[in-house]
Amino acid sequence: MRHPETIETLSRGRAFVDATADMLERVRRIRARRPSPSGRVIPEVDGTLRLTDMYIAPGTIAHSTDYRELAADIMAAIHESTRDAVRQHKLAIEDTAWPEIPEVQWVARRR
């Protein structure tokens, strides 16, 4: 038979692991898609800030007369999508219902 404090500690540990798993699942579902200033490019950035997909409107590359302008348009869209993914990531962390962890002498707390 386990000591009641051991049972309580294991229960709190499971609650923390479950809260972390829920938060990570919300992060995994993040997909940020923000169009470029021209609207011709829409990248997709995930919750770990990876570029996972990119839509380029038909004819955009063929009709582009200045590759620097097209590159700037693409980079602006990636930047905005990344900023939105960061915002969503922060919300996923902030919205997580973390269990109470009691203060104990032998565990140093970072502040």
86 within a domain of the structure (yes/no): yes
* CA–CA separation, 20 and 27 (whole Å): 11
Q: How many domains are there within the chain?
A: 1
62 within a domain of the structure (yes/no): yes
pTM of the model: 0.79
Domain harbouring 22, CATH code: 3.30.1310.10
* CA–CA separation, 95 and 44 (whole Å): 23
36 phi-psi bin (left φ>0, alpha ψ -120 to 50, beta other): beta
Contact 57, 40 (CB under 8 A): yes
Contact 41, 51 (CB under 8 A): no
Q: Tell me the residue range of the domain where 88 lies.
A: 4-94
The Cβ of residue 64 has, within 10 Å, a number of other Cβ atoms equal to 16
102 within a domain of the structure (yes/no): no
Q: What is the full per-residue pLDDT of the chain (111 aa) written as tens digits?
A: 878 878 888 888 899 899 999 999 999 999 999 999 999 999 999 999 999 999 999 999 998 889 999 999 999 999 999 999 999 999 999 998 888 877 766 666 666
